[in-house]
Amino acid sequence: MIGRLKGVVVAEDPPMLTLDVGGVGYEVAVPAGTLGRARDIDGAVELWVHTVVRDDALELFGFAREVDRRIFRSLIAVPNVGPRTALGVLSALPSAELTRAIGRNDLARLTKVPGVGKKTAERLILELRGKLPIDDEPVPEHAVRPASAEVPSDARSRLLRALTNMGYRTSDAERAIDALGPRVGTTPLSDLLREALAELSA
């Protein structure tokens, strides 16, 4: 099992990224905003990894902090919550916000997450209330990642694809992207995805 990777990000197509580790490229699915919070060590990014092994595939899910990985594992332990749904939850709700929503029985907040209906939200609260790891790890302080050099039209299409893949309607996704204005194309895609999700949840 792969538990941790440290390398250089060579490609991004949210929620996937390719991490070059010693010349080997690992494709890792990460929640929105992960790279902005990940530890940057001399240009290399460190990710805590959860490995999913199936008969036909091996999937890697990466997280900026070990506590995020533990919360992800708590989520997928809930009946009928798979890795993709858990990834969507952590993209829309950072660990601390998710813990608060569950602690407050905030069904409205949870059901705004793509793929989470009322029954799933109720199950999350029932199974996880008081059981999630405490998010008391400090967020690493490091330089803001440089803006992407891609052209705005390409950034827009990739952002639109990421949102529709998460279950949002094209019209709603386009409205959220429009609200970001000229930041599209000058801001890293992972940050744009988090802002678009916030806009859709408003």
Q: Are 5 and 49 in contact (CB under 8 A)?
A: yes
At 136 the pLDDT is 55
At 150 the pLDDT is 39
Whole-number Å distance between alpha carbons of 182 and 166: 23
Structure tokens at 161: 């694809």
pTM above 0.75? no
At 62 the pLDDT is 97
Place of tokens 């490995």: 51
At 144 the pLDDT is 37
If the chain, 202 residues long, is cut into consecutive pieces of 10 residues, what is the mean pLDDT of each piece?
94 92 96 84 90 90 95 95 93 89 93 89 94 64 39 70 78 86 81 84 72
Longest dimension (CA), the chain: 46
Q: Which domains, from first to last, does the chain contain?
A: 4-63 (2.40.50.140), 66-128 (1.10.150.20), 152-201 (1.10.8)
At 113 the pLDDT is 86
Whole-number Å distance between alpha carbons of 161 and 156: 9
Buried b / exposed e over 19-36, threshold 16 CB at 10 Å, is: beeeeeebebbbbbbbbb
At 120 the pLDDT is 94
Please enumerate in sequence order all residues whose Cβ is within 8 A of that of 163, keeping only pairs 6 or more positions apart, or say none: 172, 173, 176, 177, 193, 196, 197, 200
